Structure 1
Amino acid sequence: MSKTTIISLDLAKKVIQVCKVNPYGELLFNKAMSPQKTKDLLANSPPCVVAMEGCASFHYWARVAQSFGHEVKGMAPKKVKPYISNQKTDANDAIGIAIASTQLGMTFCQVKDLSQQNIQTIQINRKWFDRTITSLGNHIRALCFEYGAIITLGKKSLRQAIIHFISPESTDLPEQIKPLFMILWQQYQTTEEHYKAVTLQLKQWVTQSEPCKRLMKLEGVSHIGAAGLLR
């Protein structure tokens, strides 16, 4: 067993299962706590190992634990699963996390600092906007095709066609349905604007990141590529 106290956290939104094991492998307690009480426990505990699964909110709680001098050990859920005995409950999960953190050869997640997490969050949402633009464009094309109005591939073709279809003089679409296509087209344009704004924001963050600056010195690595390579 570990030569230090282990506090394992089974993370959740409203209630966190907290398991504390002493250096001799004895279970001191295993109970559900509110996020605030969990913070208080970490703040008032001597430096120890804080073990968690690398799931939602891991990086936040890892930084909280590190701010109080604790060593954080984050693990992929699939790495923890073999050490969870009996049926799956929050209490059993917390014990399994504590056990897994002591195993030889266990691999641990790198804790992202706030700057790294900000870049990752912007990058994820940039991709989401990009997928949404494609999905919405395909949706508009499919609806037009149902009325025999064909739009070829490409954003330029979509823009030219839909502006024509929703115009008062066009008879390609029924007048009753044109207001709907106007809404869809406005949503498409708004999403494009958001995508461009987020892309600009990502470039600004990358420019301020020292690790990203070093990555951009590599041949062929741009702002977007550096953000993707940053871990």
Structure 2
Amino acid sequence: MNIKVVGIDIAKSVFQVCVLLHDNKVAWNRKITRSDLMTKLTQLPENTLIAMEACASSHHWARQMKQHGFEVMLIPAQFVKPFVGHQKNDANDARAICEASQRPDVHPVQVKTIEQQDIKALRNVRQRLVDNRIALVNQSRAMAAEYGVIFPKHVTKFQELLPLAIEDASNQLSHIMRRLLLENYDELRQLNRDIQQVEHDLIELCKTNHRFKALQEVPGFGPIISSALISELGTGKQFTNGRQFSAWCGLVPKQHSSGGKSCLKGITK
């Protein structure tokens, strides 16, 4: 079988697999269960190109397929959508993935290592904890304001002044409100401990990565930003030059030109 590319539309239980030949004819396009996927794929020739959307669990499957000698290409979802063409269903999505993989202007996503995904998982947990802390502080400030007690916006100052306000008998806080604020304060302290633990685990994990040490030498780069770049970029070889990396980060303006008139959004004259 002269296979050009195999496109897989990933799902939780049932995957859609489309096999496209070099004459651009579809050999078959069928559903395969999760448990049978790797068994079916190992029947294909080695070095077969397998394309998937860069979505949930795609990096896991990409690592599995690479171990079996396949060439794997992860495509950003926005490059697949234009090739669906007809009604959206699993079969059309899998065929669209095959088509998108052949376009020269598609920049594939680098497959993440286990270390990168560990770092990303720690970052995601930390971000959730930080968001919960901000929400808790905002709620406490809003509740206290209804009793005429005003706290500053900064989290550190809030944590310093909250116990004093709870103990101050001269303000208008009721007994119930003092109890609620005290419970929020205890929860806030626990969130701080959880955030510190995650940050510690994150730094310890990144210490073994030489790129982490190099990024730390860049002015303004702390452990959080450095670990974010490691988890998202990996080696960075997916970018041809520095401008591509800047565009990926959103540091360069977007172009919106027509009729020979060049317009870069974000640039003020």
Q: Normalised by the size of structure 2, how large is the TM-score?
A: 0.76
Root-mean-square deviation (CA, aligned residues, Å) is 2.2
In structure 1, distance between residues paired with 2:162 and 2:220: 37
| Superposition map of 1:123-202 within 5 A | 123-167=123-167, 172-202=172-202
Following superposition, the deviation at residue 72 of structure 1 comes to 0.8
Matched, 1:101 2:101: yes
The residue aligned with 2:13 is 14
In structure 2, distance between residues paired with 1:106 and 1:152: 48
Q: How many positions carry a matched residue from both structures?
A: 229
Deviates more, 1:79-88 or 1:117-126: 117-126
In structure 2, distance between residues paired with 1:158 and 1:63: 46
* Structure 2 unpaired stretches of 5+: 234-269
Deviations 1:189-221 (A, max 9, x none): 221111111111111111011332333344554
Following superposition, the deviation at residue 19 of structure 1 comes to 1.6
The residue aligned with 2:90 is 90
2:185 is aligned with what amino acid?
A: W
The residue aligned with 1:81 is 81
3-state SS of paired residue (2:91): helix
Deviates more, 1:166-175 or 1:195-204: 166-175
The residue aligned with 1:27 is 26
CA contact (8 A) 1:165 1:172 kept: no
In structure 2, distance between residues paired with 1:207 and 1:170: 51
Structure 1's 19 and 214: CA in aligned 2 closer, same or farther, altered over 3 A? same
In structure 2, distance between residues paired with 1:137 and 1:80: 42
Following superposition, the deviation at residue 122 of structure 1 comes to 1.6
CA contact (8 A) 2:80 2:100 kept: yes
Q: Normalised by the size of structure 1, how large is the TM-score?
A: 0.88
In structure 2, distance between residues paired with 1:58 and 1:170: 59
3-state SS of paired residue (1:51): strand
* Structure 1 unpaired stretches of 5+: none
